[in-house]
Amino acid sequence: MTHTSASLPCQTRHAIILAAGESKRTRPLTLHRPKPLIPLLGKPLLAHILDELVGLVERVTLVVGYRADDIQAYFGSTYRGMQLQYVYQQTINGTAGALQVAAGVVNEPFFMLYGDNLISQVDLLAVSRQRYCMSALRVEDPRAFGVLDIVDGRVVRIIEKPANPAPNALANPGIYHFDEAVFSALELIQPSPRGEYELTDLIAILAQHNDVGYAVCTGHWIPVGTPWDALNATLFLLERRAGQRSLINPAAHIGHGCEISGPVWIGQAQLGANCRIVGPALIDDGAYIGAGCLIERSTLGSGVFLGDGCTLEDSALTAETRIGTKVLAQSSLFDNNAEAGNDAQMPRCQFDDPKPVAYTAGLLPQTTLCQRGAVLGAGMSLPAGATLEPGTVLFS
């Protein structure tokens, strides 16, 4: 297959993002919000996806359903110079059904993406070189994916979750380049055994009369299918930001004896005496950190309160979280307004199953991706002195 330099200009000006599902697997993060609004490093998941489209496309069509009004209220009609339009998937009947609702509003070549995967602009450029093209991902275990069936350098179909994939099998990460002709092809798709119309079936239909190319991913690909994936995505974005210079708001109060090392971003926050901050770390406006705390590779959202003597490692605390004194949180995620009492413990351990499927381009080691502490859903309260087993997800 021919590979063209990514430096050539991209001619595609439209993207479709599928963002209609309720996503029960990401509960409790999606009990009170749609998945595209899951906060990652202070911005919604969908915003990070849209950021990769800036400079490439002029228009984005969002296929929405679950809590659609929340998404539209947050993003409105434009985002960083791109026009946004919304189409509603009334019946959730599969990914092909989701794409079909955009028929009639798109009449040009387009990228097609999922609203729950962090993707890279370099891979968008790569698939834009051919009329029909998709990304391909090298993974450790392809059995959890759709796998590309490649003949003479062209994709002829997608084999869903094969029991015995070839050693060099390439997985389907869900980054596509299509044009408006695919909408008529979608009408040929038959329901799958589970009664849904699957987008992967479109590839076999297109391949009957067209060349369907592929481009191996060279950027990052981070799916957000569980709360643990959301934590890994946050840690990835934090590590990715480590290339930027540190920035501490002049209005921040840094207590006596504090040690700060590595890249850090501290807003108008208050740090007590003798704290140790090890970057990359992000501490947002209005956060209060008590004396003697250790914060390592973690992010604290706006209004977070952290008592004296706490230890946070590889963790994410979203807005208005309140933590008592001498709390340990490792590889843990706290949703909005969650609380933990004094001496609460959330230690982590290494999990070997299921294996993480994220591709972080070397920014996060596999050990980090496999570590789990605890997840506290929005408004949940962990009593003083309580210890949660690693891997616990707590919500009402």
Smallest Cα–Cα separation from 288: which of 323, 261, 245?
323
**What's the CA angle centered on 125, arms 121 and 127, to 5 degrees?**
115
Q: Is the pLDDT of residue 8 over 60?
A: no
**What is the reported pLDDT for 389?**
96
Q: Is the pLDDT of residue 2 over 60?
A: no
Per-residue confidence band for 9, with pLDDT thresholds at 50, 70 and 90: low
**What is the reported pLDDT for 138?**
87
Other beta carbons within 10 angstroms of residue 255's beta carbon come to 16
Per-residue confidence band for 3, with pLDDT thresholds at 50, 70 and 90: very low
- Per the omega criterion (within 30 degrees of 0), is the bond before 280 cis? yes
**What is the reported pLDDT for 26?**
86
Per-residue confidence band for 226, with pLDDT thresholds at 50, 70 and 90: very high
Smallest Cα–Cα separation from 146: which of 220, 200, 211, 221?
200
Other beta carbons within 10 angstroms of residue 246's beta carbon come to 15
Q: Is the pLDDT of residue 316 over 60?
A: yes
Other beta carbons within 10 angstroms of residue 196's beta carbon come to 16
Q: Is the pLDDT of residue 361 over 80?
A: yes
pLDDT tens track for 317-343: 999 999 999 999 999 999 999 999 999
pLDDT tens track for 261-273: 999 999 999 999 9
Average pLDDT, integer, range 210-220 = 93
Higher per-residue pLDDT: 315 or 93: 315
pLDDT tens track for 94-121: 888 889 999 989 999 999 999 999 999 9
Average pLDDT, integer, range 35-61 = 95
Residues pairing with 322 in the sheet: 305, 339
DSSP state of 34: -
Question: What average pLDDT is seen over the chain?
Answer: 91
Average pLDDT, integer, range 16-35 = 90
**What is the reported pLDDT for 5?**
39
pTM for this predicted structure? 0.93
> Residue 283 corresponds to which tokens in the numbers above?
């501490």
CA distance 324 to 342: 4
Task: Output b/e per residue, 144-167; b: 16+ Cβ within 10 A.
Answer: ebbbbbbeeebbebbbeeeeebee
Residues pairing with 260 in the sheet: 277
Handedness of CA 315, 36, 180, 9 (dihedral sign): negative
CA distance 245 to 256: 23
Per-residue confidence band for 243, with pLDDT thresholds at 50, 70 and 90: confident
**What is the reported pLDDT for 95?**
87
Distance of CA 373 to the CA centre of its chain: 19
Average pLDDT, integer, range 262-288 = 96
> Residue 249 corresponds to which tokens in the numbers above?
């708001």
DSSP, collapsed to helix, strand or coil, labels residue 54 as: coil
- Give me the amino acid identity at 176: Y
- Per the omega criterion (within 30 degrees of 0), is the bond before 191 cis? no
**What is the reported pLDDT for 264?**
96
> How far is the CA of 181 from the CAs of 26, 32, 105, 287, in angstroms?
34, 37, 13, 51
> Residue 313 corresponds to which tokens in the numbers above?
């490692």
Distance of CA 83 to the CA centre of its chain: 22
**What is the reported pLDDT for 141?**
78
**What is the reported pLDDT for 277?**
97
Cα atoms in the 13 Å half-sphere on the side-chain side of 180: 8
Task: Output b/e per residue, 273-300; b: 16+ Cβ within 10 A.
Answer: eebebbbbbbbbebbbbbbbbbbbbbbb
Q: Is the pLDDT of residue 7 over 70?
A: no
Handedness of CA 56, 61, 63, 67 (dihedral sign): positive
> Residue 383 corresponds to which tokens in the numbers above?
């009593």
CA distance 142 to 170: 7
Helix (H) or strand (E) segment spanning residue 323: strand 322-323
Q: Is the pLDDT of residue 355 over 90?
A: no
Q: Which domains are seen in the chain, by residue range?
A: 14-225 (3.90.550.10), 228-394 (2.160.10.10)
Q: Is the pLDDT of residue 362 over 90?
A: no
DSSP state of 243: G
**What is the reported pLDDT for 209?**
92
Higher per-residue pLDDT: 191 or 231: 231
Radius of gyration for the alpha carbons in the chain, expressed in angstroms and rounded: 22
**What is the reported pLDDT for 164?**
81
Higher per-residue pLDDT: 361 or 332: 332
DSSP, collapsed to helix, strand or coil, labels residue 381 as: strand
